């Protein structure tokens, strides 16, 4: 750091702390067997992971797991009104990815991919992008870029739009500057540029 340089601290994202508050409220009013309980706890875990609070993220994942065990029947159906183990593993993998717990993240990602419904391309690709993020964190840049490219190229342009494209752009920003000229990095730029 040069003389006269000042550090600027960016406050924690208010939306993330708001998400924790909402998840806490949902769990406070939920009843045993409600889909809201494991879902809210899993989302709380992801928010704590974004805030780098590993203890609270793990506690929330433990609550999500315990509450999932009380769901039955239609509550376990993969829909907007259900929550199942595949979704929990996806959320757990994402939380561990943000915490840079790559071994735990990859274990959860493997389970999520194994349990995910074949037509649920969104969770499958987001899980693969989390895997790429873990590989990037572990400095395996080529494998990270290959994983991201394979995941995105399996989709058409319409499927890549939105959250998937945004997540891939985040990954691309994290690629080290000295690796941005790699063919796989250029391929990722190309596939994202083709997404409208």
Residues 127 and 163 in one domain: yes
Q: Please check whether residue 1 lies inside any domain of the structure.
A: no
pLDDT score of 12: 53
Residues 184 and 98 in one domain: no
Q: Please check whether residue 5 lies inside any domain of the structure.
A: no
Domain count, the chain: 2
Residues 150 and 182 in one domain: yes
pLDDT score of 52: 94
pLDDT average, residue stretch 56-84: 90
Q: pLDDT tens for residues 148-195?
A: 999 999 999 999 999 999 999 999 999 999 999 999 999 999 999 988
pLDDT score of 44: 95
Q: Has this prediction a pTM greater than 0.75?
A: yes
Residues 132 and 188 in one domain: yes
Domain boundary among 89, 116, 143: 116
Domain that holds residue 192: 118-196
Residues 111 and 127 in one domain: no
> How far is it, in rounded angstroms, from Cα 70 to Cα 50?
27
Q: pLDDT tens for residues 95-115?
A: 999 999 999 999 999 999 999
The number of angstroms, rounded, from the C-alpha of 165 to the middle of its chain's C-alpha atoms is 13
- Phi, then psi, of 55 in degrees rounded to 5: -60, -50
Q: pLDDT tens for residues 13-67?
A: 777 888 887 888 888 888 888 889 999 999 999 999 999 999 999 999 999 999 9
Angle at 164 between CA 159 and CA 170, to 5 degrees: 150
Residues 64 and 86 in one domain: yes
> How far is it, in rounded angstroms, from Cα 67 to Cα 164?
28
pLDDT grade for 4, boundaries at 50, 70 and 90:
very low
Residues 16 and 111 in one domain: yes
Q: Please check whether residue 3 lies inside any domain of the structure.
A: no
Report CA Rg, the chain. 18
pLDDT average, residue stretch 127-155: 97
């Amino acid at each position: 750091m040069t003389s006269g340089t000042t550090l600027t601290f960016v406050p924690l994202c208010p939306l993330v702390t708001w998400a924790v508050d909402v998840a806490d409220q949902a769990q406070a009013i939920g009843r045993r067997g409600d889909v809201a309980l494991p879902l809210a706890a899993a989302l709380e875990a992801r928010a704590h992971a974004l805030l780098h609070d590993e203890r609270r993220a793990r506690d929330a994942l433990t609550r999500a797991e315990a509450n999932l065990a009380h769901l039955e029947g239609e509550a376990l159906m993969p829909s907007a009104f259900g929550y199942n183990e595949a979704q929990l593993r996806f959320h757990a993998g994402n939380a561990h990815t943000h915490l840079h717990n790559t071994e735990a993240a990859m274990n959860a990602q493997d389970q999520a991919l194994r349990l995910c419904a074949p037509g649920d391309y969104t969770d499958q690709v987001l899980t693969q992008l989390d895997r790429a993020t873990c590989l990037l964190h572990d400095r395996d840049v080529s494998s990270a870029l290959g994983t991201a490219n394979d995941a995105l190229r399996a989709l058409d342009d319409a499927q890549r739009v939105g959250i998937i494209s945004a997540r891939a752009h985040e990954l691309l920003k994290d690629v080290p500057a000295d690796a941005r000229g790699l063919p796989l990095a250029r391929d990722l730029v190309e596939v994202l540029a083709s997404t409208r």
